[in-house]
Every structure is written in C-alpha cells, then in structure tokens.
Amino acid sequence: MGEKARTEFRKLTPDDAEIVAELDFKCFGANDACNSKYFFKSAQDERKEFWVCEHDGKIIACAGAEINSDTAEIESLAVDPEYRRQGIATILLIKLINAIKKRGATFIILEVRPSNKAAIELYKGFGFQIVEREKDYYLDEDAWIMAREFLDGQDYFQTYDA
C-alpha cells in the first residue's frame, strides 16, 4: 500500500527563494514574475507575510502580501498549473488573510489582470470587489484593482486557521 501524499502550508523562508521564483516564472512569465532576490528579501521583511504550499516536499504554491499599518497589499498568489483546481489557492488565501488580519490590517488591496478570470472569481468569492482600472499596469494589459475591507474584527475565516 502506497503512502498518502503529504501537503503542508508554512511560512516562506529565505531558502525557498530560488524555487518560489521558478514557480512564479512558470505561472506568470518573464514580464510579471518576481525574481529570487525579491522572495529572499520578502522572507526576511517584517512588513511581509508570505506562505508556501509543499506537496510531498515540493513547493507548488506561494502567496504573499505587504502590510503597512491597517492596509495590506496582496503581491503574489501563484499555484503550479499542475496543481490548480484543487483548492490550494483558496487555502493559501485563507491563511494569508487570517495572518494579515492578526497583524491588524483591516483593508486589503490587490492588482489582477482582467484576463485572469479564475483569479478574479477566487477574489470575488472572498468578498473582494473591483474598485478601479489601472491603465497600462502590465506591459500588455491594464489591471483591475480589487479591494476588501474587514470591519471590527469580523469575517475571520475559521477553516485552515493560520
């Protein structure tokens, strides 16, 4: 009888930087991906909150945000294409939002390509709304600015508590 695959969610470490940068490139391409230096610094930056998902010891997803006082900006959410549609992005987003809220942020923003329908639907499912269009944000496309406010400590996500 074979062993059951093990999936773990944990904080990003500096040692993860190269692998997460490769994942980001695989998901977003050369124009939009962050490099290993960015992830290395993010793992050590007190203002950042980054999580990874490991499946059988292989990093298959990453999500992160920068938190400044009561506002956080989701900077990245990437899931290896081979592991999409399995709920990994949902769990990572729950963990990230819970961690952001525990650090005192009540307002979260993000940018997303209008062509990225799956991501837009994921964010809408978490109560994010499109609030603005940022012209020429990407080299080849505008961006939707999406936002979500959490009032009086409400709306914590109980499942998969960070």
CA-based Rg of the chain, rounded to a whole angstrom?
Answer: 15
Sign of CA dihedral 157, 131, 135, 68: negative
Distance (Å, whole) CA 80 – CA 36: 17
Distance (Å, whole) CA 137 – CA 17: 25
| Known catalytic membership, residue 123 | yes
| Known catalytic membership, residue 138 | no
Q: Which of 54, 66, 75, 111 is catalytic?
A: 111
Distance (Å, whole) CA 94 – CA 81: 20
Q: Which of 38, 49, 73, 123 is catalytic?
A: 123
Distance (Å, whole) CA 152 – CA 76: 26
The residues that are catalytic are 111, 123
